[in-house]
Every structure is written in structure tokens, then in C-alpha cells.
Structure 1
Amino acid sequence: MDCSYYDAHVCRSCRWLEMAYADQLAAKQQRVASTLPDMAWLEPVASPEEGFRNKAKMVVGGTVDAPTLGILDPRGRGVDLRGCGLHDPRLRAALPVLAELVGTARLTPYSVPDRRGELKHLLVTVAPSGELMVRFVLRSTEALPRLRKHLPALLSALPVEVVSVNLQPAHKAVLEGPEELLLHGGTLTMRVNALDLHLRPQSFFQTNTAVASRLYREATALVDAAAPATVWDLYCGVGGFGLHAARPDRTVVGVESSEQAIGSARLSAASLGLPAEFVAGDATAYALGSPAAPELVIVNPPRRGIGPDLAGWLEASAARHVVYSSCNAETLARDLTAMPSFRPVSTRLLDMFPHTDHHEVLVLLTRA
């Protein structure tokens, strides 16, 4: 992928950009394999090299009449990256319209050095259908009346399904706050492998739709081959793994700490007519408090991994299989060490994040 921002040293986030993509995959595979115990590896899953990101997380800088959408430089000043080649082209097309709205609605960009201003970030997600979710991260509700006034113009200019305001008043580098104000719509429909997954503003979804689709297909094939009657999907997010694995003769329970994500998962299950239950709560606490284990457990934890308590519970449980999706090989290796009764049967690298050293690994573990 050619990138003028990278060549000009304006943005160097894609640290592996100068490496041929085939070499990136090989290096990533070698690095991950050297971190994990010896196991059988399937062919890695490649990603499109550009236009793969379904979400743009743009820091807003500059001035109200000349806003920048992108990142901050070392001095805390805005650097405009509206043409970033990682983004889905439909995101790139939407960003100039949103930048114009910043000026029209007088949404003063937040200045980090001066600790003044209102608009901190624009978070924009595109569905496979091309519809958009737009979130404005503001420091207060001061600009809400103006944003509401100009909302009809935004809706006529772009295929926007959801608009919300996230309130993040703190003077610190935090992407968003806990409070979300919905201005339009409710959920964005992410159609993945013929399943409609409903995404609410604060729900997590993988940023690479093509590779996420393959990840769900791979995991579903592993679950179906094991043919369990009972499945847990821990750290389930909006229910991608659990909904793909649901069958009329299979009981699926998903657990996630985010209430918004669970609401999304329940809506998806109901609209699809799938036999899956979703519970808001801590994954480890749910497992430790359950009277019995399922036959198979899917885990998709954050970078910190599942941790010793859940790994110890799995080791001592009656579960026969674990499907582990990991974005951190180091914590995955630690968790596997805590579950010596489980043997890795198959492992695959999925390149969710080209041009970086980040990775996604899918492992099937079966009790020896």
C-alpha cells in the first residue's frame, strides 16, 4: 500500500508498511509461533492490504473553520489524515462531510495544549451495506442544540443509521466516556456471513470485517466438528461467535460485561430466531458461579487474556474443548500453561491488522 502520509513522516503508525505483505505474514507467523508452545499451524489468513478498516477513530484538532481529522503531533496539534488508505473508501468519502459539519454546527475542536474546546473525537463505523454510525465525543452537552439543528442535513448527505454523542469531559487521553446520548437511530446492522449482527454505539466489533467474517467461519467449523450440545461464548461482545455457533439442538450462552453489547446480541438472536441466551456480567465470575460446565467454551478476551482464575476453572472443569481467539500471543501462552490438560489441536493466524505486528490467533484445545 502506498501512503503519502507515511512517506512524508506525517504518520508512521503502519510500522511494517515498507515490508512486502507476504513477508509481513511470514514474520508475524514466525513471531507468534516462537511465543507459543509447539503446535500444528494451518495456513495464515491474509487481509486486504488497504481499505479494510470499518471504523475510523479520528482525533479532531485544528480550528472550528479548519478542523483536522486524524491524529495529534508530538506538540498536541492536529494532523489531518482523512485520506488514510486503511479506511474503507466509504469512510474516506464520509469524513469531508463530517469535517464540514464541524464548522457548520460550530463544534469547537478540543485543543490538548490549551485544554479548551468541545469536540475531541469522531468515531465513524461503516457496515457492509454502506450505512454509517457516527459518534461525536464531546466534553459537555453545550453543543448539543446546534448538533441537533444540523442533524437533518447530515442525514440527507450521508447514509447514516445511528448518530450519538459520547461525553468525555476529562482532560486526559481517553477515547470515550461512559455516557452516551442517542440522537438518531438505534443500531447499525453488520451483516457477516449471512447473519445480521446489531451494533450499538458502545459495542465492540472487530475493525476488519473481511477477516472477522473468516474468523467466525473458522471458529464455527471447529465448534461444529466437536459437535457439543452446550456452548459458552465468554467475552462475547455482540455475540459474533455464539450466534454463528447456535443450532436448534445446541444450547449457547454468551457472557459479556458491556450492557450495550449484550443488548445488541439479544436483539440479533431474537431477529434471527436463534436459540442463544446472552448475560451481562464478568466472564470469570459467571464461570466460577455456575454449577456445571458446558462441553465447549469459546473465549475471546482482551489483550490481558483470560487470567489465572478462569484458566484454572477451565482446567478443573468438565469442559472437553476450548476455542480460544487471542490478540496477544504472550498472554495466550501464559493461559495455555495454566491449562495443561488441554492439547492444541489446530492453530491459525488471522491477519486482522496488516502493516503492524498485531495479530489474531485462533486455537482449538481438546482435553487430552
Structure 2
Amino acid sequence: MADWKKNDRIQVIIEDLSETGEGIGKTDGFTWFIKDTVIGDHVEAKAMKVKKNYGFAHLEQIIKPSESRITPLCPVAKQCGGCQLQTMSYEEELRYKERKIYGNITRIGGFQDVPMLPIMGMDEPWRYRNKAQFPWGLDKDGKPVAGFYAGRTHAIIGCEDCLLGVEENREVLGRIKAHMERYHLAPYDESTHKGLIRHTLIRKGFQTGELMVCQVINGNQLPHSEELVKSLLEIPGMTSISLNVNKEQTNVILGNKVENLFGPGYITDYIGSVQYRISPLSFYQVNPVQTKKLYETALEYAGLTGGETVWDLYCGIGTISLFLAQKAKKVYGVEIVPQAIDDARENARLNGIENAEFFVGKAEKVLPEQFEKNQVYADVIVVDPPRKGCDEKCLETIVKMGPKRVVYVSCDSATLARDLKYLAESGYELVRVRGCDMFPWTTHVETVVLMSRVKVNTMF
């Protein structure tokens, strides 16, 4: 094995991509990670950091580009930390995501045979996000700028028209910037904890056209807020305008206090025929087009005939629960965020759904409580946990309850694979796996999995 050191030049062909989107290539068995490369690229790079068996190198030049290499549409794609894969064709990106899911399920989950269906990609993989959160800062001329953080930093790259977001974002940010300049309102500075204007959260209902703006401030009030409201109301579809107070020194974007400036304090949108009410603090899937495909797949995997009791764990504002309630006898939803549960109950009322009940609390606490104390059982359990996956106590209870089917929706196929392994060792078999590309041009991918109980649970 060659002895590489910092600043050495290397030539390498990129064979794969890492979880975070860096190209992976090998020289004499030594692995290199090189950002901004695509599978199939033949590149020259400069060694930046060298470990025992692997190193990180900086791309110097592309000797021969991959057939999958394309020119990014976004002018700041390279600097911005939002997209990792804009230099790769969309077809290749979908193949990469399928391999990533398959790789994790075989390697971490230990499954030999993975019953994978083709990934659900987008016909139009741009302008798909119904939500954006723009941090504010100062540009090099000392003027307010909104955009996104550069990769692995908190340096703001100016980008007021992100091509993943809706076109109205630019209009909203332009009006907020004019307001800041007119009244000399300073953007927030993380290092000094000074400055008023932190992030701007914008949401749009894709089916309803309703717009929401929530301005996060490092203070209790926004000077001349009525002027800003007047300006924002000139944008078609503007339905809800609010302030969010966040005076903490933290990376968390939203504080807990919301002050309504205009409108009902929420917008509504539809996924399929189900209507949802979305408030500034609600979690709601950011890609409504793909969410519909994802939920329809989850519903299909749940195999409901109208007589089942279903538990939806980590249910948020009840998005999957209400989808399932259309075909189930009874749905129970569990979520730790109280406001999300208020929204879930309101969403059930809004849709005239009476067979859904919601609990506030940790899934790993509520589930055993209801099962052991109240003998509430489950025919089907649906889980859609955060990135860290399911808590082991929660998995334990799922196995104890012994539902016929478990439908697992995941935003991280590594923790998914770990949890599937646990279920497989406890009497469940892997029936179907399908990727859903909710986040084109990034390395993230959603997966929906069906597991079926093989043998009757011995604990009964």
C-alpha cells in the first residue's frame, strides 16, 4: 500500500458515493473521499487529510467526466450545503439511492434476499418543497442577505430563489429585505447573539395555493410589523403571517412562542382527499407530490379491509393516521409533540374522521401502557420514526403485541436496517421494500417496508 501524505496528487476513478455524497475511489486498495465528483468520473485530486486506510482529497480537475455528469441548474449548487447531487443525472441519482437502501439492508440488517420494488422517482424533480427556512445574515458589503448555509458551516450563501423551493419564496424574501433596509433592522449574528431578524419560514399549500410566512426574531416584537404585513399581503395566496420568538443561543430555528400578525395562524393543504391544517410549528412532509405516493404505498402495504385496529407511531399531525383511517376500523396515533397532536385531532375533525384517536407521549411509553393496562391490541402497526429510528422499548412492545403486519416508513435506511434486523429475529419476515425519492438532488431517501409475522407469537 502506498504511503500517502498531505498535498500528494492522486489520479483515481470514482466507483461509488458515500452516505453524504462524496465520491469514493481507490488507489492500491487505499480509499479516497472526494467531494463534487460523480460515479464514473476519472479525476485528479490533492490529498487534504490522510488516515491509516483512507483519506480525503480536494478535486483539482476532471480528466474524463462520467457519462452521468451534468451541469448543475443552480448557480450556487457547489457552495450551498442544501444539495449534494446536482452534478449527477437524475436517473443515476435514483440508482444510487436504490443501492444505498439495498446496501444498508444487506450489510446492517443482515438480509440476504431483499424483495425490492423500483424506487418511486419524480417526473419533475424541481420546485418540489412546500417549506423553506432561510437564515439571514450580512453580505460582504454589509447588506442583509438570505440563503442557505454552506456545507458543514454556518456561513450563509446568498440564494433567495432556491430551485427546490416555490417561486413565491423570492418575492417574500425581497419584501422582508426591503423592510429591514427601510427600518435598519439588523440580521441575527450567531457569534454575538445580537441582531433581530433570524430565519424566515415560508410554507405553501400545493393544492390550495395558500401561503404562510413566519418570521423568527431575536426579540419580543418586530418594529413596524403592520407595514410588513401590508407588503406581504400583496402576494397572491398569502393566508397566514406570524412572528416566532427565539431568543435562545441555539441552532434550533423555531422558538415555542408564536404571535399571530394576520390570518388564522395556519394554512391548509390536501394529500389525496384528506385535508390537513398546518401551523408554523407543525411537522408536515415537505414534498407533497411524493408524500402522496409514499402514503399510498404504506396504505397498500397495511392491507386494510375495514376491520383492523391500527397503531400509527410517531404520527405527527396525523398525516398517515388519517390516510389509514379511511380503510381501518380504528386508528390510534402517538406523538411526543403536544401541538402536533392538537393539529392531528383538529385534522380528524376537519375531515369528519371519527375512528382516529390520538395520544401525546413517547411511543415507547404510550404503547406498553395501552397494551398492558387497557389490553389495546393491534392488527397492523405503522411506524414513521425520526432519523434515529425506533426506540428498542418500542420495538419490544411491537413484538409483544404481535401485529400481523408492520409497515415501517423511514428517512434513514441505516437505522431502518438495524430495526428490521430486530423484527426479523423476533418472528417477522421482510416482504417488500420500496424507496421513495422525497428529496431529489440530495443524498436523502425515504423507504417504506412491509414486514409480516411468520409464526404466532409464543407469548400468547
Q: TM-score, normalised by structure 1?
A: 0.92
> Which amino acid is 1:285 matched to?
K
The residue number in structure 2 matching 1:279 is 359
Would you say 1:362 and 2:448 are equivalent positions?
yes
Would you say 1:53 and 2:133 are equivalent positions?
no
Does the CA contact (< 8 Å) of 2:242 and 2:265 recur in 1?
A: no
Per the alignment, do residues 120 and 320 of structure 1 end up closer, same or farther by CA in structure 2, a change over 3 Å counting? same
Does the CA contact (< 8 Å) of 2:175 and 2:231 recur in 1?
A: no
> Which amino acid is 1:170 matched to?
E
Does the CA contact (< 8 Å) of 2:306 and 2:328 recur in 1?
A: no
- The gaps in structure 2 that reach 5 residues or longer are 1-71, 106-110, 455-460
Does the CA contact (< 8 Å) of 2:240 and 2:265 recur in 1?
A: yes
The residue number in structure 1 matching 2:53 is none
The structural deviation recorded for 1:29 is: 0.5
Per the alignment, do residues 105 and 159 of structure 1 end up closer, same or farther by CA in structure 2, a change over 3 Å counting? farther
| Cα deviations by residue, 1:48-79 (Å, 9 ceiling, x for unpaired) | 32111111110011289932111245885543
> Which amino acid is 1:42 matched to?
L
Does the CA contact (< 8 Å) of 1:105 and 1:147 recur in 2?
A: no
The residue number in structure 2 matching 1:180 is 258
Does the CA contact (< 8 Å) of 1:138 and 1:169 recur in 2?
A: yes
Would you say 1:91 and 2:169 are equivalent positions?
yes
The residue number in structure 1 matching 2:83 is 14
The residue number in structure 2 matching 1:66 is 143
Does the CA contact (< 8 Å) of 1:123 and 1:136 recur in 2?
A: yes
CA RMSD of aligned residues (A): 2.2
- The structure that is strand-richer by fraction is 2
- The gaps in structure 1 that reach 5 residues or longer are none
Aligned partners of 1:240, 1:72: CA distance in 2, in Å?
30
| Cα deviations by residue, 1:233-282 (Å, 9 ceiling, x for unpaired) | 11111111111111376111111111221121111111211121222222
Would you say 1:126 and 2:204 are equivalent positions?
yes
Per the alignment, do residues 226 and 303 of structure 1 end up closer, same or farther by CA in structure 2, a change over 3 Å counting? farther
- The structure that is helix-richer by fraction is 1
Would you say 1:333 and 2:411 are equivalent positions?
no
> Which amino acid is 1:110 matched to?
Y
Q: Percent identity?
A: 29
Does the CA contact (< 8 Å) of 1:69 and 1:81 recur in 2?
A: yes
The structural deviation recorded for 1:334 is: 1.3
Does the CA contact (< 8 Å) of 2:317 and 2:343 recur in 1?
A: yes
| Cα deviations by residue, 1:282-318 (Å, 9 ceiling, x for unpaired) | 2111101013321111111000111211111111223
The residue number in structure 2 matching 1:233 is 312
> Which amino acid is 2:128 matched to?
F
1:1-368 equivalences in 2 (<5 Å): 2-6=73-77, 9-36=78-105, 37=111, 38-47=113-122, 48-62=124-138, 66-72=143-149, 78-104=156-182, 106-128=184-206, 129-143=208-222, 145-184=223-262, 185-225=264-304, 228-247=307-326, 250-275=329-354, 276-290=356-370, 291-340=375-424, 341-368=427-454
Aligned partners of 2:176, 2:121: CA distance in 1, in Å?
32
| Cα deviations by residue, 1:155-203 (Å, 9 ceiling, x for unpaired) | 2334222222222212232212222223332221011112111111101
Aligned partners of 1:355, 1:114: CA distance in 2, in Å?
34
Aligned partners of 1:43, 1:364: CA distance in 2, in Å?
15
> Which amino acid is 1:103 matched to?
E
Does the CA contact (< 8 Å) of 1:199 and 1:261 recur in 2?
A: no
Per the alignment, do residues 226 and 302 of structure 1 end up closer, same or farther by CA in structure 2, a change over 3 Å counting? farther
Does the CA contact (< 8 Å) of 1:105 and 1:150 recur in 2?
A: no
The residue number in structure 1 matching 2:54 is none
Does the CA contact (< 8 Å) of 1:76 and 1:113 recur in 2?
A: no
Per the alignment, do residues 40 and 352 of structure 1 end up closer, same or farther by CA in structure 2, a change over 3 Å counting? same
Q: Which moved more, 1:239-248 or 1:222-231?
A: 222-231
Does the CA contact (< 8 Å) of 1:236 and 1:256 recur in 2?
A: yes
Aligned partners of 1:281, 1:294: CA distance in 2, in Å?
18
Does the CA contact (< 8 Å) of 1:228 and 1:296 recur in 2?
A: no
Does the CA contact (< 8 Å) of 1:224 and 1:245 recur in 2?
A: no
Q: Which moved more, 1:167-176 or 1:97-106?
A: 97-106
| Cα deviations by residue, 1:307-364 (Å, 9 ceiling, x for unpaired) | 2111111112231111110011111111112212111211110011111221100001
> Which amino acid is 2:376 matched to?
A
Does the CA contact (< 8 Å) of 1:220 and 1:245 recur in 2?
A: yes
Structure ID, larger Rg? 2
Secondary structure of the 2:295 match is: helix
